[in-house]
Each structure stands twice: as structure tokens, then as C-alpha cells.
Amino acid sequence: MEEQPGLSDQYRMSSPWPMLIAFGLAIAEVGIIWPLAPLAVGGLLLLTGSIVGIVREAGYVESPWPLLSGFALALVAIGLALFAYSGGAFAVNSVSESLRTSGSIGLRGLSIAFAGVIALVGALVGKYWTTANAGHSV
Amino acid sequence: MAIEGQIALTVLMGALLVGVAVWLTRLEDWRSYTPLAGGAGGAIGDESAHVHEEKPAGIIRWLTTVDHKDIGILYGTYALIAFVWGGLAAVLMRAELATASLSLLNNTQVYNALLTSHGITMLFLFGTPILAAFSNYFIPLLIDADDMAFPRINAIAFWLLPPGAILIWAGFFVAPFTEAMTTGAATSWTMYPPLSVEQTNPSVDLMLLGLHLTGVSATMGAINFIATIFSERGEDVGWSNLDIFSWTVLTQSGLILFAFPLLGSAIIMLLLDRNFSTVFFAAEGGGTILWQHLFWFFGHPEVYILVLPPMGIVSYVLPKFSGRKLFGFKFVVYSTLAIGVLSFGVWAHHMFTTGIDPRLRASFMAVSLAIAIPSAVKTFNWITTLWNGSLRLNTPMLFCIGFISNFIIGGVTGVFLAAIPIDLVLHDTYYVVGHFHYVVMGAIAFAGFAGIYYWYPMYTGRMYQRTLAKWHFWLSMIGTNLTFFAMIILGYAGFTRRYATYDGLTVGPVEVITAMHQAATLGAFLLLIGQIIWVWNMVSSWIDGPKVEDGDPWNLAETNMKSREWAWFERKLDTTIATDGGAEEEPLADGGEPTESDES
Ligand code: HEM
Ligand SMILES: [Cu+2]
């Protein structure tokens, strides 16, 4: 269909974040339940990154980095708590047989915490080494 | 998964993230685009008070849109794909049941997996989304709102669905490649423990995760509709003149808000039972009946979540072609609200045979019989609207009438089932399958078709092929009644549901059972042909059906029935012609130069 000057056309019509949030949530969910560390880490990064993105796009925050580091710290805290709960065990093993071993719980904790660490590094790099601080001129 | 697998996944995931990052920086181009650079179609760009952003072109537009109409189209496309998947699963099952012994499928477990996938797909991936397609596209137009209250949340809600579907269907895709998975999940849509806990097949976990995502999606959508209908109505749209479709969607959203989070929680409990040795639904914990209570507390409202908006569509479209206003509008609204409230008080009618306390049973029977009253009120109002009207039997109208007819059979069989003594005999037979298919296929899908045809000119700008549409209707009507009436008889004959074979029968009217199974399969194939015609008609007409030039393609103005969304459409047609000028090639297509794209 063609572009048409209808009513709703006077508002922002597109945003890249919703799709990324949804996919991030799905990937993180699978990665954490089935301890597949790469999916857990990647999915959490996608999810937190896009939540921060959409919040900034909507103008609720000026700069994305403080919010991102907040999420990062929360992930680190949750992840370490889970790791501690597992008694510091850690194992990379097969999907179907090991969902409830303490090694696999430790793996889940570490992957969540690791996602938090990467997000934190991202936030610091973003804040001190890029110019993307201000909100958009829009 | 061995360590190499993890490394491969890491690389894949890393590549995906880098890809996303690159994509995002490319998008900056259009994200910071100013109205002045808008190009063709940016005629209102000079209203600089607004943030006017062009939609990006091509596929990116669809991936990033937050416009309610685009999201409506996305929901519709998604629902269509799910309908094809669920429909083919059903056809495979019916083909298998044409003969008494296993002849087509590899083993009965495949049948069970198809059965599960069919049920879950049709309810969660087709039913709920097709309704969201209508409500996204039309509610803002009907209530004169600029868009949904939360456009971005709206987009998130949609985008949760594709991963949800992939996870729900994953068993079928992944099983051929791994030994850990045998086939798709085979729990049936009700996922009763202990079966669903004891099936070690990991595709059950994936299905539960996917269901969870679709539940989150439905809840987000519902919050959005409630907020939109409450706070975004235009100046001259009050509660007193809110249209019937919006009323039903508002009620539906309320039901979703109470039902779906509960399903989500129950699903998490089931996941924990499966994977982390909790005992929520184990005999030593809450027991399996706990699951049934939680599931049906969601499950019964779910059936009304599915049926209320279609009732709204029928109440909305039927008067247009009867030349009369909806009879007893107020009572149709009240009955909608009554159904909404009562539907939370009937869930245990799915559990009459489980040995729950007979006093509980009796009260659930009473409320279940009571809920038939508002349903009947609606039915009488539709019939009275038709009474003495000047009927125009075009395709949307035929589907509305088919809806009423099928809903009566579906509803009356429901009332029978709500009576405990009858249910004790008929529970878990094909009678139940016949009952709910009369409602879900015969009524809900029919109302969906009515809406799809009725608004087709609006969202495509073109007209469908009328003869094909009539074929679609008659094949669907005959197919539905053949298939599902045969099931009702199968139920009376005592044939139980969820069986892949019937060659071991030693009691009962074996010939009747065989004949009815074959009749049902025949009906299913009629349905299949009808739906192929429909998809063909929709797609081919969208590509090169005759353009709609009149803002009132159904001549509703004649009977004073033209409503707000068609007025919007008329404005749109006018302004499109006014502003597009020669910039677009479309206006030329009908005139002088025959371009290739037009002829094909
Ligand atoms: C007129 C009101 C209705 C009444 C009194 C009613 C009653 C019942 C009863 C008592 C059962 C349980 C049968 C059994 O398992 O033994 C049942 C099953 C079912 N009904 Fe209805 N029903 C009504 C309307 C509807 C509607 C409108 C829908 C769909 C939108 C629907 C969908 C279903 C489904 C899906 C099942 C089967 C669930 C399963 O076991 O898989 N019903 N109905
Ligand atoms: Cu029910």
C-alpha cells in the first residue's frame, strides 16, 4: 500500500527496538532454561540493550548508559547469587540429562553474570569513549 | 551438547549480535531523517509541530513498524501461516483416520504430536492473533484514535509471536537431527500431568517456553487495548455510542488480563516440575487435579476470549447487510459483559468426571447452564436483526449467517455437556470434539472470514473475486457440518477422542463408527479445498484485483449504515489521489500507459 496522509501518520511510525526486545527475550529464555551459555549471554545482551534503546527512544532517559549499567549490575547480582546457590559448581554438559545438576545451575548463574559484565563494559565504553551520550535531536 | 557445539553457538550468537549492531547503525540514517527530506508523500511534512517520520521502505518497514494498521496486517499474515500449519496437521490426522489401522503416519506418537500441535496452533497462534489483527487495524479507526495507546508495546507484543511459534513447532524441525527428541510435543493442548511431566522429550520444554511467550504477548496486547479504548477515544465517541466490536474487544481484553498470566504461571510450574524436581503437580505435592483447576481457570475464559470478538464482528457486519440496526444493541453489550463475568465461574465443567466434590460439581453445572442465557440473548438478537430486513447475501453476510447457524449447534451441544449426567457419558468422546469445533471452526473462523471479506477493500484497496468467495463459503459450510456433525454422532456411538486407530474395536457399532470417521475425513477435505480457494483468492486479488475507487464499496450510505472506518477510508482515497499526483505510478495504471506490473 502507498504512504497516505492518514491520521496516525503524523507520529513516529517505526522503531527497531520492539522486534529486538522480543527476540532477545526468547533467546535468553531458551538459553537460561536449557543451559546453553552462548544463547543466555547473547539473549540477555540483546534484551537489556534493546530495552535501554527503547526507553531512550521514548525519551524517558537522556543517556542510555546509566540505565544499561543498572541492568548490568542487576544481572551480575542475580547471576552470582545463582552461582553461589549452586555451591560454586560449574559444568558444561549435555542438554537433556543435566538440567538440574548443580553444575548446570552454576553454569546458568555464570552466564547471567557474564552477560552483566559485558553489558557493564559496554556501558563504560559507551559513556567514556563514544559521543553517543545525548538523546536524539528528534 | 559437547564443547564444540557451545563454541559454534558462541560464534553464531556473536555474529547475530554484530549483525544487529550493524543494522542499528544503518538505521540511524532514517531515524534522524527530517520531514524536509521526506520526498514524495511528505506533503504534510510542513506541519513541523509533529514528529513526522517516513516509514522506511521495503522489508525494514515491516520489521520496524509501530503503526497499528501495519501491525494489524502483520498479525493477519502470521495468523494465516499458523492456520495453514494447523490445518495441514488436521488434514493429516483426518487422512490417517480414514482407515481403521495405522496407514499413513509412522507411529501413533506422530499422531499425538500432530494433535497437540494442531490444538495449540489453532488456539494460540491462529485464533488469538487473527482477532488481534482485526482489533489492531480497526479499533483505532472505529474509536477515532490516532493509534494504539502504546504503539511500541503493540509492536513488542506482535514480535513475541514468531519466536513463540518457532518454539512451539520446534520439535518437528529439530527431531530429525537429534536423538534426544523423538517428535513434536505430544501432551495434547491441555498438557495434563502426570503425562506432561513424565514425557522426557525436550520438545515439550520448548513448547512450554513458546506458549509462555505467546501468553506474554496476549497480555501486553490486552493492556494496550484496555488503555486505548479507555483513554484514546475521539471527542465524539462516548461509552453510549461505542461500537459493538470495541465492546467485545474490551471485554476480551479484561478476560485475557485475568486468564493469561495465570496460564503463564502454571506453565512455569510445569516447567519446574519437569526440569527441577519440584512437586507442584505430583501426587505428593499439589496433585494432578491442581493443574486441571489452574489450566481450566484459564482455559474456559480462553474459549470466550476467542469467541467474543467474533461475536462482535458478526454483530457489527450483520446489520450492514440486513439494512437494519442491530436489534437490542444494549442487550448485546450487557450479554457480552455478563459472559465476561460468568466465564470465570464455570471452569470445573471440564472436570466433572475427575471425582471432585459433587457439591462443587453441581454449582459449576448451574453457572454453566446460566452462561448459555447471555449467549442465547445474542443469538436471538442476531435473528431478530435479520427478521424483515432487506438482506443482501454477499460473502461477508453468508459467513455471518453461517456463524449463527453453527453457533447454535455448538452452543446447544455445550448446554448438553454442562449437565453432569450427560457429561459423565459423553466426556472425552468425539461429542466434545464436535461441540467445540462447531464453535471454533463453525463460528469463530466463520466470523473471521466475514471480517476478512467485509474489510478486504479497505486494507488492500482492491476487491476480491466474488465467485471464488462463494465457493469458499459453501465448501466451508458443508465441510464444517459434515465433519463435525459426524463427530457428534461418533460421540453418541461412544467413540473416544485422541485415538490414532480404531482397528481393535470389539464392542459398539463398528460400522457406524467407521462410516462416520470416513464422513468426517471427507468433510475435512472439502474444507481443505475451500481454504485453498480462499488463500488463492486473497493473494491473487491483493496483487491484481480490481482497484476500489469508491470509499463506500458496500453502498452502506444507502441504508444509513456507513460507519467511521469507511469514512476514514474515503478520506484516505481522496487524499491519496490529491497528494500522490504523478509521483506514484499507480494512478496511471488504469489509464494510458499499461505498465508491465499492471498486466501480469
Ligand atoms: C453455550 C455455552 C457453552 C457451554 C455451556 C459449554 C460447555 C462445555 C462443556 C461442559 C465442556 C466439557 C466437555 C467435556 O470435556 O466433557 C466443553 C468443552 C469445550 N468447549 Fe464448550 N461450552 C460452551 C461454549 C463454548 C464456546 C463458545 C467455545 C469456544 C469458543 C467452547 C469451546 C470448548 C472447548 C475447546 C472444549 C473442549 C476442551 C477440551 O477438553 O479439550 N465452548 N464445553
Ligand atoms: Cu468450558
Q: How confident is the model at residue B525 (pLDDT cuts 50, 70, 90)?
A: very high
Which residues of A fall within a CB distance of 8 Å from B61? 14
Q: How confident is the model at residue B578 (pLDDT cuts 50, 70, 90)?
A: low
**In the predicted model, what is the mean pLDDT of residues B139-168?**
94
Nearest ligand to residue B305 Cα: 1
Q: Does B591 score more than 50 pLDDT? A: no
Q: How confident is the model at residue B507 (pLDDT cuts 50, 70, 90)?
A: confident
Q: Does B1 score more than 90 pLDDT? A: no
Closest Cα in chain A, distance from residue B510 (Å): 43
Determine if ligand 1 sits within 6 Å of the CB of residue B545: no
DSSP B55: P
Distance CA B412, CA A42 (A): 52
Q: What is the pLDDT of residues B104-123, one digit of tens each?
A: 988 888 999 999 999 999 99
Sign of the CA dihedral running A122, A126, A130, A131: positive
> Can you tell me which residue has the cell 495449540?
B120
Residue with the bigger pLDDT between B276 and B394: it is B394
Q: Does B232 score more than 70 pLDDT? A: yes
- Nearest-CA residue for ligand 1 atom 7 is B414
Closest Cα in chain B, distance from residue A5 (Å): 7
CB-side neighbour CA atoms (13 Å) of B47 = 12
> Facing residues of B85 across strands?
none
Pairs of CB atoms within 8 A across A/B = 176
Cα dihedral: A126, A127, A132, A136 (round 10): 120
> Can you tell me which residue has the cell 495507546?
B149
Does the beta carbon of B564 lie under 8 angstroms from any beta carbon of chain A?
Answer: no
Q: What are the Cα distances from residue A80, in Å, to A61, A70, A74, B355?
A: 28, 15, 10, 46
Determine if ligand 1 sits within 6 Å of the CB of residue B418: yes
Exposed / middle / buried, residue B560 (Cβ in 10 Å: 0-12, 13-18, 19+): exposed
List, in order, residues 6 or more apart from A113 with CB less than 8 Å away. A75, A76, A78, A79, A80, A83
Determine if ligand 1 sits within 6 Å of the CB of residue B565: no
Q: Across B15-19, B198-202, B455-459, B582-586, which has the greatest mean pLDDT?
A: B455-459
**In the predicted model, what is the mean pLDDT of residues B60-70?**
90
Q: What is the pLDDT of residue A92?
A: 66
Which residues of B fall within a CB distance of 8 Å from A19? 63-64, 155, 159
Q: Does B561 score more than 90 pLDDT? A: no
| B223, amino acid identity | I
Sign of the CA dihedral running A61, A62, A65, A66: negative
Q: What is the pLDDT of residues A42-74, one digit of tens each?
A: 999 999 999 999 999 888 888 889 999 999 999
B44, B64, B75: which to substitute to probe chain A, counting the most A Cβ within 10 Å? B64
On average, the pLDDT of chain B sits at 88
Q: Which of B61, B200, B575 sits opposite A5 (nearest CB)?
A: B575
Q: Does A18 score more than 70 pLDDT? A: yes
Q: What is the pLDDT of residue B33?
A: 39
Task: Say how many residues make up chain B.
Answer: 600
CATH of domain B71-314: 1.20.210.10
Q: What is the pLDDT of residue B57?
A: 73
E strand or H helix at B382: helix B358-386
List, in order, residues 6 or more apart from B448 with CB less than 8 Å away. B130, B131, B134, B310, B313
List, in order, residues 6 or more apart from A18 with CB less than 8 Å away. A54, B64, B66, B152, B153, B155, B156, B158, B159
Residue with the bigger pLDDT between B398 and B107: it is B398
Q: Does B579 score more than 80 pLDDT? A: no
Q: Taking Cα atoms as reference points, which of B72, B67, B224 lies closest to residue B147?
A: B67
Phi/psi-derived region of residue A34, left when phi > 0, alpha when psi is between -120 and 50, beta in every other case: beta
- Nearest-CA residue for ligand 1 atom 20 is B436
Nearest ligand to residue B444 Cα: 1
CB within 8 Å of chain A, chain B residues 111-130: none
Q: What is the pLDDT of residues B457-505, one digit of tens each?
A: 999 999 999 999 999 999 999 999 999 999 999 999 999 999 999 998 8
Distance CA B564, CA B560 (A): 12
Q: How confident is the model at residue A85 (pLDDT cuts 50, 70, 90)?
A: confident
Cα dihedral: B174, B175, B180, B186 (round 10): 110
E strand or H helix at B530: helix B510-544
**B294 alpha carbon – ligand 1 mean position (Å):** 16
Q: Does B68 score more than 80 pLDDT? A: yes
**B348 alpha carbon – ligand 2 mean position (Å):** 8
Q: Does A135 score more than 60 pLDDT? A: no
- Nearest-CA residue for ligand 1 atom 23 is B414
Q: What are the Cα distances from residue B78, in Å, to A62, B81, B125, B139, B593?
A: 36, 5, 8, 19, 36
Determine if ligand 1 sits within 6 Å of the CB of residue B423: yes
Q: Which of B43, B56, B66 sits opposite A18 (nearest CB)?
A: B66
On average, the pLDDT of chain A sits at 81
- Interface predicted TM-score (ipTM) over 0.85: yes
**In the predicted model, what is the mean pLDDT of residues B218-222?**
96
Domain coordinates in residue numbering, chain B: 71-314, 391-548, 553-581
Determine if ligand 1 sits within 6 Å of the CB of residue B414: yes
Which residues of B fall within a CB distance of 8 Å from A11? 50-51, 53, 146-147, 151
Share of chain B above pLDDT 90, in %: 71
Q: Does B364 score more than 70 pLDDT? A: yes
Residue with the bigger pLDDT between B334 and A129: it is B334
Q: What is the pLDDT of residue B590?
A: 35
Q: Which segments of chain A are extended strands (E)?
A: none
A8, A51, A107: which to substitute to probe chain B, counting the most B Cβ within 10 Å? A8
Q: What is the pLDDT of residues B5-54, one digit of tens each?
A: 778 888 888 889 988 888 888 775 544 433 333 333 333 333 333 344 56
Sign of the CA dihedral running B375, B377, B379, B381: negative
Q: Which of B13, B32, B580 sits opposite A39 (nearest CB)?
A: B13
Chain A residue whose CA is closest to B164: A26
Q: What is the pLDDT of residues B280-326, one digit of tens each?
A: 999 999 999 999 999 999 999 999 999 999 999 999 999 999 999 99
Q: Does B210 score more than 90 pLDDT? A: yes
The string of DSSP codes covering B406-462 is HHHHHHHHHHHHHSHHHHHHHTTBHHHHHHHHHHIIIIIIHHHHHHHHHHHHHHHSB
Chain B residue whose CA is closest to A138: B32
